[in-house]
A and B are shown apart, each in its own frame.
Chain A
Amino acid sequence: MHDLLAARGQMAMSLGFHIIFAVVGIGMPVLMVLAEWRWRRTGESVYLELARRWARGTAILFAVGAVSGTVLSFELGLLWPRFMAFAGPVIGMPFSLEGFAFFTEAIFLGIYLYGWERVSRRAHLLAGVAVAVSGVASGIFVVMANAWMNTPAGFRMAAGRVVSVDPLAALFNPAAFQQTLHMTLAAFVATGFAVAGIHAALLLRGPATPFHRAALGLALLVGVPAAILQPLSGDISARAVARQQPAKLAALEALFTTTTGAPLTIGGLPDAADGTMRFGLRIPYGLSLLAFHDPAARVAGLDQVPRADWPPVAIVHLAFQAMVGLGTFLALLSLVIAWRTWRRRPIAGSRGLLRAIAIAGPCGFLAIEAGWTVTEVGRQPWIITGILRTRDAVTPMPGIAVPFALFTLLYIGLAAAVVWLLYRQIVRMPAAAPHG
């Protein structure tokens, strides 16, 4: 396999793996804290049981997040040394801050997990809050670094070298706001619906225990508002991408020619070879409306970009369609749930709704993988938009296919182990099992 392709594959695989655990590390602490807080408020023991059970699951996933994140911080150099030599001084800031956020998160998670009997109740709940806050913070910092790769800022180039570095301007680069907002919401959508999905499935299979009902309620409390806000945040992202990264927008909409009053294509299979789009449903003026909130706006197409600098159009377009489709489904489902709750009708009362929630379980995570594919593949062939090409950043070490294969096998094994363990932990354990 070509070394560049292998390196890209290894990076994509490692990030696609890490993001699942990272998202859990952002979302689950919020759920644990909510459960513990409910227990303190109501004294109902199901909530205590929930907090403890969720904490155990989180510990397993957090460990995998920690090790896969460590792999990434080395891989940035192992695979892209020239990128790091170039970008390190500019975006080291968010990574360093992220380091501190991890530290705080790991410390307070230790206290939360092992400190039930060792610290006061109040200190315990506060430790949970610290975990939740630092989890969100670490996500925000690292996404700011990624946003810089998309819209580099805070430095000048002189004779191929970086000069006049301004770490703050790099940190608050143009894409930072929309990406961090969208990602943080995504983490709550994904964890909220994944947990809700599990408990909805268990409610469908077995008797409606108070345990599963309580779990479902709390998980939806996190997932539903975020899922309703996510399309709005996605709209902010899309409009920003249209201004800041026109080539990416053209790829994600598969717009080959620059058009005034551009239509929106839903579905469809773009063919970059002859610049056409097969199948797909066209909505007149849709794209101009969405991207610029103006039906007559001119949208730049791929014809504005040299052919050699096109991102892989079909992948980006399909991934974007997948994300928006999943996001629309989750938002509509959330509106139904919100409506039902407002009318004070229990969610668990409708088997149809439970079934829909169970189906929605994996959708948030799928949308996240799809969304990152849009962002990262849509940036190609650049590792830093307009500044450094991916192929110029890759390591000179030959034979990258070997580590790629090694890490792929490792992660497949790890994923299988995690799934099996969680199954042993959560699903097969009777609901009234003693904890410890």
Chain B
Amino acid sequence: MADPTLAVVLAGVIMVALNAYALLGGADFGGGVWDLLASGPRRQRQRDLIAHAIAPIWEANHVWLILAVVLLFTCFPAAFARIAIVLHIPLSLVLVGIVLRGSAFTFRSYDSRRDAVQRRWGAVFSGASIITPLLLGTAVGALATGRVRAPAGSFAAGFIRPWLAPFTIATGVLALALFAFLAAVYLTVEAGDDRELADDFRRRAIGAAIAAMIVAGGTLLVARRGAPMMHAGLTSSRWALPLHAGATLAAVGTLGALALRRFRLARIGAAGFVSLVIWGWAVAQFPLIVPPDLSVLNAAAPATTLRFIALGLVAGAAVLLPSLVYLFRIFKASA
């Protein structure tokens, strides 16, 4: 009934959407982290730069997540239903975080007075920016553990233990560290001619990169027990070596570029590093979407649906991609 090739292609599109969300939306969350950690004599300037960089595009960045969700429930309905049932709690909390972050950010930028009220919106914005990636990373990590099964037994066994374990906590922290790293690197570019400000974020980017690498190593360690299948995929499969080599190259390259103040190059390296981490996860669990049982093949929608969605995607992309390029040309070309 399902069309295997098309199912794999559409699963790939979902991953592309998630990847784009991590690179674009993730950086917006990371911006919230640096908003909270703003310090030193240029504190206000740091915050202004963050707000300036996020403002015109956060809503567009955010739609990648919606695209991924919509494609998931259309193309792989059984997987979506399972995820929604078992991960109800972390996903609900992610939603609370998304609501608070998005609205607080907007309220802060549109409330034109610089007063205590505005600062309070800022606190909500940055607090939610920390909690949301933690929980999002936890939920994604839960998939890799293979414990997102049809609930049976007690409430804790069915709805809590699948996502609350050392491994998933590690993936949560990893997501936060990666997002903060991305944001700091992007902000070095956004700072433009302001050398002092660029240096502030250069230091932060280097610190976040080191933190992210340590957390990534730690995650791999706890994966041995917490997500054995993922661990096996990441250590001993055919593509494990090229993947790790690529990620290391990207990470070292980014650090080198930061050291040399080649910020645009660093931006490419950072995006490459984060993308490799994400695709590493995807490849390690392919063809499963929700291990141990729901795969790209057995959870796929009927072939007609997949074909229509593929057509819709092509038509949509024809409208969307030029518009996106236009948006970034207008707002990011000068940076």
Chain A residues engaging chain B, CB cutoff 8 angstroms: 56, 59-60, 62-64, 66-71, 73-78, 81-82, 84-86, 88-90, 92-93, 95-100, 102-104, 106-111, 113-115, 118-119, 130, 162-168, 395-399, 403, 406-407, 410, 414, 417, 421, 424-425, 436
Contacts and interface: CB of A to CB of B under 8 A. Distances in A.
B74 A107 contact: no
A397 B107 contact: no
B69 to A, nearest CB: 5
A81 B84 contact: yes
A258 B274 CA distance: 65
Interface string B281-320: 0000000000000000000011011001100110110011
Nearest to A87: B77
B249 interface: no
Contacts of A111: 56, 326-327, 330
A66 B59 contact: yes
B62 A77 contact: no
B70 A95 contact: yes
A64 B308 CA distance: 31
A85 B330 contact: no
Interface in B105-123: 105-107, 110-113
B159 interface: yes
A96 B71 contact: yes
22 contacts: A63-B103, A66-B102, A71-B99, A76-B73, A77-B84, A78-B92, A85-B81, A89-B301, A89-B302, A92-B301, A97-B312, A103-B323, A104-B323, A107-B323, A110-B57, A110-B59, A162-B302, A166-B304, A395-B88, A397-B151, A403-B92, A410-B96
A96 B330 contact: no
B83 interface: yes
A108 to B, nearest CB: 7
A127 B305 CA distance: 33
Interface in B66-92: 66-67, 69-71, 73-75, 77-78, 80-85, 88, 91-92
A88 B80 contact: yes
Nearest to A155: B302
Nearest to B334: A118
Contacts of B80: 77, 81, 84-85, 88
B60 A107 contact: yes
B330 A119 contact: yes
B77 A85 contact: yes
A114 B98 contact: no
A92 B84 contact: no
A203 B151 CA distance: 60
A86 B77 contact: yes
Contacts of B330: 111, 115, 118-119
Contact of A414 (B55, B60, B103, B113): B103
B301 to A, nearest CB: 4
B63 interface: yes
State which size class the interface on B falls in. Answer: 35 or more
Given A63-B106, A104-B323, A74 B56 contact: no
Given A64-B103, A67-B98, A71-B99, A100 B77 contact: no
Nearest to A71: B95
Contacts of A86: 77
B56 A114 contact: yes
Contacts of B91: 74, 78
A74 B59 contact: no
- Judged by DSSP, the binding face of B is helix
Contact of A73 (B56, B70, B82, B96): B70
A88 to B, nearest CB: 4
A59 B57 CA distance: 12
Contacts of A396: 85, 151
Contacts of A70: 62, 65-66, 95, 98-99
A436 B84 CA distance: 43
Nearest to A414: B103
B312 A93 contact: yes
A59 B110 contact: yes
Nearest to B85: A81
A414 B107 CA distance: 10
B164 to A, nearest CB: 15
B297 to A, nearest CB: 15
Contact of B320 (A62, A103, A168): A103
Contacts of B71: 92, 96
Contact of A84 (B59, B60, B84, B159): B84
A106 B60 contact: yes
Contact of B331 (A110, A407, A425): A110
Contacts of B111: 421, 424-425
Nearest to A406: B96
Contacts of B84: 74, 77-78, 81, 84, 395
A417 B151 CA distance: 38
B157 interface: no
A82 B77 CA distance: 9
